[in-house]
Structure formats: structure tokens, C-alpha cells
Structure 1
Amino acid sequence: MNVIEEARKINDKLIEIREYLHKNPELSFQEVNTSRKIVEVLQELGLDEIETGVAKTGVVGLLRGSQQGKTFAMRADMDALPIQEANNVPYRSQNNGVMHACGHDTHVTMVLGSAMILSKMRDSLKGNIKFIFQPAEEIFGGAKMMIDEGVMEKEPKIDTIVGIHVWSGLDVGTIGVVSGPAMASADRLEIFVRAKGGHVAIPHLTADPIVASAQIINALQTVVSRSTDPLQPIVLSICHIEGGHAFNIIPSEVRIEGTLRTLDDEVCTNAVEKIKNILKGIENITGVQCEFNYEKGSSVLINDDKVIKLISEAGSAVLGEENVMPVEPTMGGEDFTYFTRVVPGAMFCLGIQDKDAGIVSPVHRDTFDISSNALSIGTVVLVKSALMYLES
């Protein structure tokens, strides 16, 4: 069976599904309608098993081949973002303040498209394929919950897993691959700066958490510029600060929130220790008290060399070697990493940019969109990767 031709045959259906999902986005762990649509498509294909309610709203479909063999899994995340869409397109989000601005509607569509093609080939498949539809990637909760509920261990056990992510910096018709560290750890930090506030006219009788917070924010930047090897990627960003309610009252508390991202666990550990030391120093200088809360998000995504080689060869076979592009690691985070800590796996990037059509917006923007031509391309690379793995 010619997988490229099969992808062309279902292209209109892929566009229809993606536009439906884009019009009906749902936030993390609220992907009820999305799951319903996924199940509807999988049931039409006659998959051997369809499990629902995994990690609340997740879905797992199983396609058994006619011959025994290994089990290949492909994963799509389902959730949208709390963003008001600015695009004026027929498939614009109908849910106020919610938008598929990270391409998860596209990911779901391509994994469904893969199921459409592969289900026609079950009589020749040597092994099994699992289609994993994961909730709550945006809050780094869904993947771990699915694993805790046994998604990787349920028979037939998964042997390898592949993920796909839209990439606005790559032209449609291409894919991007990177071996080793591919996406950063993405951790959340929260600092409460507390002090004895008071009247603005008598600052000497108070401790000022706003002044202390300003010192903290500035000092934290030295974690990057002076405390970390400059050859090691690291991002420490403060993105939210709140405190006070009047122009003439020194408040008693300020809350600071941000993120720490690295491509190396040791760099991350050292950075956290530096943050703690900075807070102790500011406490001594200003008289405030600091409470530091550090929440681990996703760990560093490390793409398995063999799986990336498989994807690269599959991409070359269906797109041409010149359209398989090396890309640099990104400081964005991905909870797909939880799956790759259990079995060998990798995530590749799908080019979605079409400058002639004005489709150039990065993810997490209210103007984000994809070229619909990317749908069949991502689908055929997933299908070819699955087939090559099971045949190897």
C-alpha cells in the first residue's frame, strides 16, 4: 500500500477533523468533547480496543496486527490554551477565551489520520500499534497520570513511542529532528516575600517587600549570567508579580512567580541552590521573610538516538532526505518526556509555516495557525515510522 497516496485520499477528512477541533477547543482535563470526537473516529475504524477515561479524559486505541510482534505507540496531546483567538477564519474558536494556539488539534488529527491508514493494513502488520490521546499537556499533568494508570504496562506493552509537534519555524513540507536533549525541563517557582508593612511615611519602621522583591528579581538574573556555565542553556524568567493595594501603604506581602528551564538536570539542581542562597541574602539585608516553593514540571526531553534515526529514515523515504532538517533544542517544555523515561522514544517537529499564505505566527499567540497541507505530511511520517519499526 502506498502510504503517500492513502494520505492524499483522506486529506479532506483530515482538514474537516482539524477544523472541527479548532472550533471547539477545551482546556486541560476538560477535553470531553474532544475525547468524544476521537472515540467516534476510532469506532468507525473498528479498532480492537478503545479505552476511555484514562487520566480523566484521555483515550487509548489499540490496533492488533495479524502477526505477533512489537508494539509501537504514537501520542497526541489534546488540550487548548486560555487565549482569545484573533484569527478571522471560518474555523475560528467558538469557545470564548480558549484557543488551540499550540497545535494540539493538529496533533490529534494526524494521529487519527494514522489510525485511518494503518487500520486498512492490519492484515499485513507484524505487531501492534497504540494511539494515545493525552489530556493536559499544557499543565504538565496528563502524561504522568496516564503512566500512573498503567498506559505503558497494559498488554500488549509498549516498546517504543513517537510524538509529533508543530513547528512554526519550519516550512510546510519539512520535518525537524534532534537527537539527545531536545526540550527543556520546565519548572515553576513561586516566592512569597513577607514583611511588617505600614504607612508609607514611616518606612524606617517597616520592612518593605516591594523593594526586597525588586532586589530579588534583579539578583535572580545572576543565576544565569554569573552562576551557570555560559555553554549550558538556561532560562530563568519572572513572569508574574503582585502585591499591595494602595499608593500610600507598604504591603505586608508580595508574590513572585516564574519558571526555570534547563537542558541538564545538574544545571537545574545548581540553579535552585543559588536561588535559595539569594533569598537568604535578601532576607538578611532587608529584614523580610521569603517562602520559596519549587514545583517540578516536565523533565528534560531526551530523544533516543535509534528512534530519531527511525523517524529520519521514514521522513526521508516519504518526503525526501532534503526535507528532513536538523533543528536545535528548544527551551520549551513537553511532558511527553514522561513516556520516554519508560521506553525509548522521540518527538519530531512538523513544519507548518507558509509565508505566502501569511502563516508565520509562533505557538501560544492569538494569531497562531497552521498550513492545512501539513496534516497529510505529518500523518504519512507517523505511518511510515510505525511501519518501518514493526518491519525491522
Structure 2
Amino acid sequence: MKRLFIDLKERAYPLFIGSGILDNFEKYFEENCPKTSKRVLIVSNTVSQLYSHIIENYISYDLKIVISDGEDAKKLSYANEIYTKLIENNIDRLSVIIAFGGGVVGDLAGFIAATFMRGIRLVQIPSTLLAQVDSSIGGKVAVNHPLGKNLIGAFHQPKFVVLDIELLKTLPPRELISGLGEVIKYGIIWDESFCEFISAHYEDIENLETNVLTNIVEKSCAIKSAIIVQDEFDQNLRTILNFGHTIGHAIEGHLKYSGLRHGEAILIGMKAASTISKKMGRLDETNYQKICDLIDKNKISLENLSIDVNDIVKRLKADKKVVKGKTRFILPEKIGDVFVTSDIPAEIVLETIQEIKLEFEKANEFLLKV
């Protein structure tokens, strides 16, 4: 077991990383959540069924709330139903919410923890690669609004996070690819050698090799930690973690959060951001091709999907990264170095989105021929 410490002073917390470490959950809980009155386990329907043995043998709770799978659960109406259950079961300010599941569970449970009684403690047990390397770490919790993703939220750090690599062994291929979208992001924005490692060990990742999975989870968490300890509340440096998310989120919203996984949309968004940077003359051909080659290793299914360019542009203007009416993009200068800008010619953005639309159309043309 490896332990990584997120040093946020009074909000500092540990990450426990290893294979089969959930059998030590009670130990971690007692060390990091003393004086707890009640425990509330919020878990997705899939995880509740798939890991019922882990829940019953290793995770004690006073109230268990099972939520539906998918982005549709990340909305205020769903949160309100959970508030009602907490009140009916006399959950108080000394209680702890335990989020066990993927990014949706972590975001929703975290939002509940941040807002119920003005904030109660939170523990994260992420069950997907995407949640392990991204959404469970850093304290960003939110629900969606019909006009945009994660527009209603807060910063609420967990007391600790358990990253059990064994949970990744049951992931469907698409969920693995979705998580790799965020893993690859860390390499492009921060560490070229990490991109090289991912590329060299891609087959090992596909084969769910424990040591390699542990390595990429630990490295991803270390990079994110290095960023958030310098900018916990997303005022400056942390913005670079949104690389690929500007267009990626717009595509997700346009598709009503169905058809593409979050990480798949981010892979498309990262390629689009790299294309924009190349068109602006900031990213050279060599680095651009390396980025595209790494992204293209991940086979994204675009079957029966199409996008409307005008709606994507409209959604970009409602993105939470918009400042003074201008959409901010995170663009690569080279692998391992990105910059933030809102000074992008509108025709370049439009042209890039049109190229994405063509990729969707080509994928479906091929299916029709087959």
C-alpha cells in the first residue's frame, strides 16, 4: 500500500493506493474520522450489486442510499431526495458521508456533504479509473444544470480517499478508455515522460496489469496534488486541469450526457484544443502528432452520434470557465506545457468544431457501408 498526502494545511488528507486494500477501510476510517455519530453510504446501483461482499464485510454504515447510474443522477432534484432521507434518519453534523462509486457518485455525494447542515465530512472510495485519478481528489463537487455541466457546486475536500486498484479489474473497456482520457491529460499538461510511459505500456493498461495500473493512478494523483496544493480554489494554476474540458463539456451537454463517456468527450476535447493551438501557430507539428497518436490509441465509438456546430458554440459561451464574456481555453504549447487563453480567433474555433462534426459523420458513413 502506498500513501500520498494532499497537503492543504487544515484541509490536508491522505490517499491510500494499493491492490485489495479496502479490507483495511475500518482502520483508515478510525484514523481519519474520529468522533463520528452516523455513517451514510451513498453508492451506485451497479457498485452496490457488484461489490456487495466488500460493502457487507468491510464498510460499516448506518444508512445506505443507492442511486441510479449515469449523469442523470447529478441534478438538484435528486440531491433534494437525498436531503430528505438524511433528515428523516436524523443524520447530524458529526455524521460522515461515504461515497462509493464512479465520478457521478463522488460528485453528487460530495455536493450533499458540502451543503447538508452547511457541510459534513466526506470519504471517497472511487470505483472507476476516471474517479480514482480525477474527480475523487481535489474537493470539486457539483451537480449539473440543463444549460451546463457542473455549474452548481462547491469545494469540499474529503477526509481521506481509498484507491483500490482491484476495483478497476471489473471495468468495461469503455470505462477504462474514459479514465485514460484524464490520465493522458496529466501527461500532456505536466510531464512528457508520463505520456511516454502510457504509450509504452498501453497494452499492459488494456490488460489491467496491476503494477502498471498502480503506477498510472499514483502518478496521476501526484500530478494533480502538485497542482491543487498551489491553487486549491481554481484561481490560477488549477485551471490547466480543464485541458480538453471546454469543448469536451460542450459536446457532453449537447449529447445530453449520453452516447459518450466523460473521458471519451475529454479525449475529443484535448485533440480539438491541440488542433486549435496548432492552427494558431503555438504547437509544432511534431508535438501535435505525438498528442494525436496517444489520443488515437483509445478507440472511441461514435456510432449513431452527431453534433450540431451552432449548439456546441452556444454551449461554449455558457461554460463555467467563461470570464467577462470570453471563453477560456487551455492549449498545449508542447507536451508537458500548456497555456490559458481567451484570445482565439472565432473562425479557428468554428473551423475546429466543424472538423469534429466531420469525424462524427465519417464514423457513421463507415457504419452505413458495412
TM-score normalised by the chain length of structure 1: 0.25
Which structure's CA Rg is the greater one? 1
From the two aligned structures, give the one with the greater helix fraction: 2
Q: Which has the higher contact order (CA 8 A, sep 6+)?
A: 1
TM-score normalised by the chain length of structure 2: 0.26
